[in-house]
Amino acid sequence: MVTGDAAYIKKINRSLIIREIIKEGMISRADLSKSTNLTRATISAQVADLLAEGLIIETHLEHLTVGRKPIMLSLNGQAGYALGIDLDYGQISFTLTDLIGSPVTSNIIRISTVEYTEICHLLVEQIKKYKTEFNDSRYGIVGVVIAIHGLVGKDEIIHYVPRFNWHGINLISDLEREIDLPIHLENNANLSSFAERVYIHHETDNLLCTTLYSGIGLGMMMNDDFFRGNEGYAGEIGHMIVVPGGKPCNCGNKGCWEKYASETVIFEYLSEKRQIENLTYEHIQTWLDEGDEEVHEMMEQFIFYLSIGLNNMINMYNPDVLVLDSELLRIYPDSLNKITKNLNSSISHYRELMISTIGNKSCVLGACALAIKQFLDVPMLNLPYDITTNRIGSALIY
């Protein structure tokens, strides 16, 4: 039984109510009372507060039966915005969503520098633009979450970003001197796993999401929270050694998994071999469609080494759901079945292995969702996603 003072109990009840409204999309007061096990008096008082704050809205359902029209409650998505930022090597992606996670606008800015002061200045400039442009709602931008492709401690200090060669950076402090908004940092793979949990796998308690783009990262959602390790650096699975004495890695070891099973390996090799400076997925798709033997062999090798690491991960964590976030796997025919056939250990147990349906937007959308969660102060979100149309909320992923 939860005990505490009245204010604390009220906060817990508020959180339960908001989470249930988000989960159901639309719900009546009576059903809200049943699903939360709170009294109707408590529901009425809390709902009155949330309506006054503009966080929820009432809708009268039209129906043909005799009697009063039911009044349904839903989250007011237009009450504010969340800004997610993916700070990656060569580009910074920005996505702004409403409070139900539907994208409002997205933008990508290419960068040719790794200098911290330049990138920090660019972030300040862009965040201020968003803050000015989207101040038409009651709460404006409710929070900013920035995805970091490197080690972020529990104190949100950037310990190390390999491709930027950043060490011990306090980005939040530098941004907050210029911007009056709640700002948080999180590892990119963690945010991808959060997006998968929030938008797709609503009832999953143990979810792993492996991102395979510029390296290999692992985001772990366990019991509605990130698994971070002692200082917050858990998930650097790309530096698990799969080939002893193999290819040298920037981390200092040899034979790291990401030197064999990340998309970067294939892009770098084909770019150099075929003298194409800006190699794209479209190039690889064309070669696959044409039956290019070398590209097909590379993809088979990619899947072989990917399966080795996945087998280790499954045995270590025994996940409920394991999501693979890779555009190459999405375009390579029958890739999931080929991976599954390689996972034939009798002691490996998982319920579902799948390729992400959100795709490379999962990181920045996870950042938006985390900003929403922190603003609403709820333990977890279940936001709408239409898998048949590749739509988040009511807006197309773009």
For the chain, the structural domain boundaries read 6-75, 78-398
Residue 91 has pLDDT above 70, yes or no: yes
Region of 346 (left: φ > 0; alpha: ψ -120 to 50; beta: rest) is: alpha
Q: How confident is the model at residue 348 (pLDDT cuts 50, 70, 90)?
A: confident
Average pLDDT value for residue range 232-256? 92
Q: Would the pLDDT of 384 be above 90?
A: no
Q: Which CATH number fits domain 78-398: 3.30.420.40, 3.30.230.80, 3.20.10.10, 3.40.50.10800?
A: 3.30.420.40
User: Does the domain made of 6-75 have the CATH classification 1.10.10.10?
Assistant: yes
Q: How far apart are CA 44 and CA 46, in angstroms?
A: 6
Beta carbons within 8 Å of 354's beta carbon, 6+ residues apart = 321, 322, 323, 324, 336
Pairing, β 158-161 against β 166-169: antiparallel
Confidence of residue 99 (pLDDT cuts 50, 70, 90): very high
> Which range is least confidently modeled, 175-179, 199-203, 259-263?
199-203
Task: Classify residue 387 as exposed, middle or buried by CB count within 10 Å of its CB (0-12, 13-18, 19+).
Answer: exposed
Reading the block at residue 222, the tokens are: 């366990």
> What's the whole-number mean pLDDT along residues 61-90?
85
Across residues 191-219, what is the average pLDDT? 94
Residue whose structure tokens are 């590892």: 187
pTM of the full predicted structure?
0.91
Q: pLDDT at position 394, please?
A: 42
pLDDT (0 to 100) of residue 298: 97
